[in-house]
């Protein structure tokens, strides 16, 4: 299938939806603390999305006969992605919690994720979070016109594996726009110079999912929650990126700090919190 190229109107709407998604995620991150349930975060996320006049693209998302039952995806520790919030899942000091916010506004999707430490985490888990964020930055830096999707994949894999961790292979990044999942698929592993050619006007959800242990995963009986097979912690960071002639532009930053040049974004301290 062809990779959608966004025109000026579509890009403007993507900017809006992505800024909202980023703002919701930024606010939700600040609420994380020991003793709260993932359902508490779910309800806060639901209300924040609604306050922006947007809707959750997760709620009711359908695969076959299964419908996702929550407004946010909240995954704790060994849960890689698609964790279903629950009043019974209480966050404890030393946990990590991945917040994945996907919203729709004016017909376009904004998609981003961040893994938050709960209190004080173990040194190896702190390193896992740092390396995964670095891998995201390195992957985004390869989203350059004339490069190929494999250049993004390889940059992520090389950094993760050189630090002793593993990239999840059963889930991938993807194009995003009118639909949550568009072409191209963006694996977090691969060879440079391979895959689809990157052209201006693509909007890509780049999302390293990195395990402290092995790369294998399985899906729980709820049909949604993906966990590491060996029970090791997993981190997940994601941005929606626009490809331009000037280089990659991260769309999923809150509107108050919305900027366009990738090099300035990675040096801007407001984006490291």
Give the torsion sign (CA, 62, 187, 273, 118).
positive
Phi-psi region of 178 (alpha: psi -120 to 50; beta: other; left: phi over 0): alpha
* Cα-trace Rg, the chain: 17
Omega before 267 within 30 of 0, i.e. cis: no
231 assigned to some structural domain = yes
- Alpha-carbon distance of 144 to 205, in angstroms, equals 14
Distance in angstroms (rounded) separating the CA atoms of residues 227 and 230: 9
12 inside domain: yes
Q: Is residue 168 part of a domain?
A: yes
**pLDDT score, position 264:** 36
Angle, alpha carbons 169-174-180 (nearest 5°): 125
For the purposes of burial, counting CB atoms within 10 Å of the CB of 52, is it exposed (0-12), middle (13-18) or buried (19 or more)? middle
Does residue 214 lie within any of the structural domains?
yes
How far is 273 from 256, CA to CA, in rounded Å?
14
Domain-embedded: residue 1: no
As a whole number of angstroms, the distance between CA 219 and CA 1 comes to 28
- Side-chain-side CA neighbours of 34 within 13 Å: the count stands at 8
DSSP string, 205-216: EE--EEESS-S-
Answer whether 103's CB lies under 8 Å from 168's CB: no
**Does residue 229 belong to any structural domain of this protein?**
yes
Q: How far apart are CA 54 and CA 236, in angstroms?
A: 23
Task: Give the range of the structural domain holding residue 34, as residue numbers without chain letter.
Answer: 8-271
Whose structure tokens read 């020991």?
34
As a whole number of angstroms, the distance between CA 142 and CA 144 comes to 5
Identify the pLDDT of residue 1: 77
CATH number at residue 200: 3.90.230.10
Residue 3 in domain: no
With the CA atoms of 85, 88, 93 and 96 taken in that order, what torsion angle do they form, in degrees rounded to the nearest 10? -30
Is the residue at 221 inside a domain? yes
The closest of 212, 210, 177, 188 to 140, measured between CA atoms, is 188
User: What does the pLDDT profile of the chain (273 residues) look like in tens digits?
Assistant: 799 999 999 999 999 999 999 999 999 999 999 999 999 999 999 999 999 999 999 999 999 999 999 999 999 999 999 999 999 999 999 999 999 999 999 999 999 999 999 999 999 999 999 999 999 999 999 999 999 999 999 999 999 999 999 999 999 999 999 999 999 999 999 999 999 999 999 999 999 999 999 999 999 999 999 999 999 999 999 999 999 999 999 999 987 544 444 443 433 333 333
State the pLDDT at residue 251. Answer: 98
Q: Which two tokens stand for residue 251?
A: 């769309």
Which residue in the block uniquely carries the two structure tokens 């979070």?
A: 129
Q: How many domains does the structure of the chain reveal?
A: 1
């Amino acid at each position: 299938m062809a990779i959608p190229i966004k025109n000026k109107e579509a890009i403007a709407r993507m900017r809006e939806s992505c800024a909202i998604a980023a703002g919701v995620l930024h606010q939700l991150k600040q609420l994380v603390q020991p003793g709260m349930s993932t359902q508490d975060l779910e309800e806060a996320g639901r209300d924040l999305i609604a306050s922006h006049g947007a809707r959750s693209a997760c709620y009711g998302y359908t695969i076959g006969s299964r419908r996702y039952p929550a407004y946010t995806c909240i995954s704790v520790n060994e849960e890689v992605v698609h964790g279903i919030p629950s009043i019974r899942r209480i966050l404890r000091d030393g946990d990590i919690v991945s917040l994945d916010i996907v919203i729709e506004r004016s017909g376009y999707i904004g998609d981003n994720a961040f893994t938050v430490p709960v209190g004080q985490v173990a040194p190896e888990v702190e390193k896992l979070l740092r390396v995964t964020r670095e891998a995201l930055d390195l992957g985004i830096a390869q989203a350059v016109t004339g490069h190929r999707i494999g250049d993004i994949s390889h940059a992520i894999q090389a950094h993760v594996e050189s630090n002793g961790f593993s990239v999840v292979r059963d889930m991938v990044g993807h194009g995003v726009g009118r639909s949550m999942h568009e072409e191209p698929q963006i694996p977090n592993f691969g060879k440079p110079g391979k895959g689809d050619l990157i052209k201006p006007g693509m909007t890509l959800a780049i999302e390293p999912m990195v395990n402290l242990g092995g790369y294998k995963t399985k899906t729980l009986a709820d049909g949604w929650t993906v966990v590491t097979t060996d029970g090791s912690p997993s981190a997940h960071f994601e941005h929606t990126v626009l490809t331009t002639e000037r280089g990659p532009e991260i769309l999923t930053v809150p509107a108050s700090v919305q900027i366009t040049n990738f090099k300035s974004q990675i040096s801007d301290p407001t984006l490291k919190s």
